[in-house]
Structure 1
Amino acid sequence: MDPHLLRTFAAVARLASFSAAARELGYTQSAVSQHIAALEADLGTGLLTRRPVAPTPAGHRLLEHTAPLLLRIDAARADVRRLAAAPPGRLTLAASPLAVGPALLAALPATGVELRVVPPAAVPAAVATGGCDLGLTDGTAAPSDPLRLPDVAPLAVTGVAEEPLAVLLPAGHPFAGRAALRLDDLADARWLDAPHVGLAPPAAARTTPALRYDGTDLYALCSLAAAGHGLALLPRRVAEAAAARAAGAAVPLAGTRLVHRTELITPRTPAPAAAALAARLTAPA
């Protein structure tokens, strides 16, 4: 399958319009129609209905493959370009909000780095496609277990730090005075839904979602939790700092082997500046 045709198909399906896809891609509407017809001829089945424009069952199935295929192509292009020449300009680091912790702050040089804070799920793709030189992402895992990251390209993944977890809640919450909380205590709790910045609560406690926060501002998430809009699961150091700042309460999570884990993601052939920063991030404390 021609990747150009796949990109056109993905755009038409996402925008539900041949003309809108043509404007976005810089093609004529006739060219977009020809791309879709060529792809349907190649696969021997219809992929889009025309009125309204929507994926057929076969189109939905192809969409499941399209994004990973196109991402892998972009990753291959970036990998070859890294071998051809070291990328010019500043060193660019993608980091999820909760990965911006003590290890990173201690390792960052004073100048020459651009830090991009992005959702955890966006970090592997940012490194794989060459948008960033290296990345830091985070999540919950059992001690010493790797995070479950998407297989977007051949990348090197190294554990950087593991920290205990705590629950951030308002100072007036019935659990605020506890020395620790167990998952059984939280079975009926209301949790903030913050997929781009916070940690998902353990499955055993994930029963009642509260307010949804779509941003990446960690301060905003902590303020929402302290104000009573829902509980937040955080690294203990973050929860304690937020509780002190926003008049909330940070209670350690006990009775579980889960920890907050931060991992470094690098390409197979990092530029010298990226390799140097990676070495500082993974050096023994």
Structure 2
Amino acid sequence: MDPHLLRTFVAVLEHRSFSTAASVLGYTQSAVSQHIAALEADLGTRLVERRPVTATAAGTRLMEHAPGLLLRLDAARADLARLHDTRPSRLTVAHTPAAFGPAVAQALERLHHAAHPLELEVRVLGREAVIEEVLTGRADLGLVDGATAPSDPLPLPDLGPTTTLAAAEQELAVLFPDGHPLARRGSVRLTDLTQAHWIDAPDTAIPLDRLRAVCRADGFRARIRHRGTDLHGLAALAAAGHGLAVLPMPLAAALPGVAAVPLTQPRLVHRTELIHPANPTEAARQLAELVADRRPGPQRG
């Protein structure tokens, strides 16, 4: 299966348009049509309905595999490129909004003083984007966060030849508006809040599908959807009564207009994990060692 044809196939279905896919990929529309026809001939089945542009049953099934296949190909290319990296003083860190805690900031400061000069770039992204940045070599190291049982790893997808280690574990809290009846509670149970209004903010707060999974219950219905990485915007929505959200306690307690109430049941923690390739750059390797020195924890590869 030609990856160039597969990329064209993904672009056509993502944009629901042959002409838009052609513009995005830098091809002519006729070239895009030829790519799709060639891929269909290779696989022996129709993949895309032309009018309107939609996936066939076979195309839908292929779309379940295609993004992961293309990402692993990009990851392999980046892995080889790192063998010839001639910029040991460059470090690009991608992280989710709630993943960049004091331990990592202090480790970066120590590394910055140890490496002269260190060209440092920090990017705030969603969870899937952080993983993609690391696998494709656009970031040297990533930090992702989520909710899990104490000392358990995060439920991450298959990352291929990468190393993951714990960077921090913190208490979780539910964000309530200051005037909410539960805002002055000493603690709350997540299972008591399944029918409350929630903010669906998968890249800033703990995702609602994760809350459903750990409680093994339906509910946690979104009253409003928040897309992006703006924590203060999320706090403003919570303060105005649009819904609840779950964040790490130190971060939640510092946000204005909301009350951060500790979450006691089920027994969960906010966990941050550091991800880097199996053959990291020197700066990424040093930062990972500094973080590991500050926060011992199990590694997985």
Query: Under a length normalisation based on structure 1, what TM-score does the superposition of the two structures give?
Result: 0.94
Contact 2:90 2:119 in 1 (8 A): yes
Instruction: Flag the 1:20–1:164 CA change in 2: closer, same or farther, 3 A.
Output: same
Alignment partner for residue 232 of structure 2, among 194, 219, 236? Answer: 219
Q: 1: CA distance between counterparts of 2:151 and 2:244?
A: 26
Alignment partner for residue 236 of structure 1, among 249, 257, 270? Answer: 249
The amino acid of 1:31's aligned partner reads: A
Kindly provide the CA deviation profile for residues 68-108 of structure 1, in whole angstroms up to 9, marking residues without a partner as x: 00000000000011113345773100010000111121112
Instruction: Flag the 1:58–1:280 CA change in 2: closer, same or farther, 3 A.
Output: same
Alignment partner for residue 112 of structure 1, among 109, 119, 127? Answer: 119
Give the deviation of 1:255 after TM superposition: 2.5
More off after superposition, 150-159 vs 129-138: 150-159
1:151 aligns with 2:158: yes
Give the deviation of 1:200 after TM superposition: 2.4
Query: Residue 279 of structure 2: SS of its match in structure 1?
Result: coil
Query: Residue 108 of structure 1: SS of its match in structure 2?
Result: helix
Instruction: Flag the 1:37–1:87 CA change in 2: closer, same or farther, 3 A.
Output: farther
1:200 — aligned with what? 207
Give the deviation of 1:121 after TM superposition: 2.1
Kindly provide the CA deviation profile for residues 48-71 of structure 1, in whole angstroms up to 9, marking residues without a partner as x: 112222211111111111100000
CA RMSD of aligned residues (A): 1.7
| Percentage of matched positions with identical amino acids | 56
The amino acid of 1:137's aligned partner reads: V
Instruction: Flag the 1:240–1:55 CA change in 2: closer, same or farther, 3 A.
Output: same
Contact 2:15 2:21 in 1 (8 A): yes
Query: Residue 65 of structure 1: SS of its match in structure 2?
Result: helix
2:137 — aligned with what? 130
Alignment partner for residue 270 of structure 2, among 257, 260, 273? Answer: 260
More off after superposition, 64-73 vs 150-159: 150-159
Query: Residue 250 of structure 1: SS of its match in structure 2?
Result: strand
The amino acid of 1:207's aligned partner reads: F
Kindly provide the CA deviation profile for residues 112-165 of structure 1, in whole angstroms up to 9, marking residues without a partner as x: 210000012221111010010001000000111111111143110001111111
Q: 1: CA distance between counterparts of 2:164 and 2:43?
A: 36
Instruction: Flag the 1:253–1:46 CA change in 2: closer, same or farther, 3 A.
Output: same
Query: Residue 158 of structure 1: SS of its match in structure 2?
Result: strand
Contact 1:196 1:216 in 2 (8 A): yes
Contact 1:86 1:271 in 2 (8 A): no
Kindly provide the CA deviation profile for residues 13-38 of structure 1, in whole angstroms up to 9, marking residues without a partner as x: 22222222222212222222221111
More off after superposition, 46-55 vs 166-175: 46-55
Query: Residue 185 of structure 2: SS of its match in structure 1?
Result: coil
More off after superposition, 126-135 vs 84-93: 84-93
Q: 2: CA distance between counterparts of 1:87 and 1:59?
A: 42
2:115 — aligned with what? none
1:270 — aligned with what? 280
Query: Residue 12 of structure 2: SS of its match in structure 1?
Result: helix
Alignment partner for residue 139 of structure 1, among 125, 141, 146? Answer: 146
Query: Residue 254 of structure 1: SS of its match in structure 2?
Result: strand
Contact 2:144 2:272 in 1 (8 A): yes
Query: Residue 280 of structure 2: SS of its match in structure 1?
Result: coil
Contact 2:88 2:282 in 1 (8 A): no
Q: 2: CA distance between counterparts of 1:56 and 1:141?
A: 37
Q: 2: CA distance between counterparts of 1:278 and 1:258?
A: 25
2:169 — aligned with what? 162
Q: How many residues align?
A: 282
Q: 1: CA distance between counterparts of 2:8 and 2:89?
A: 32
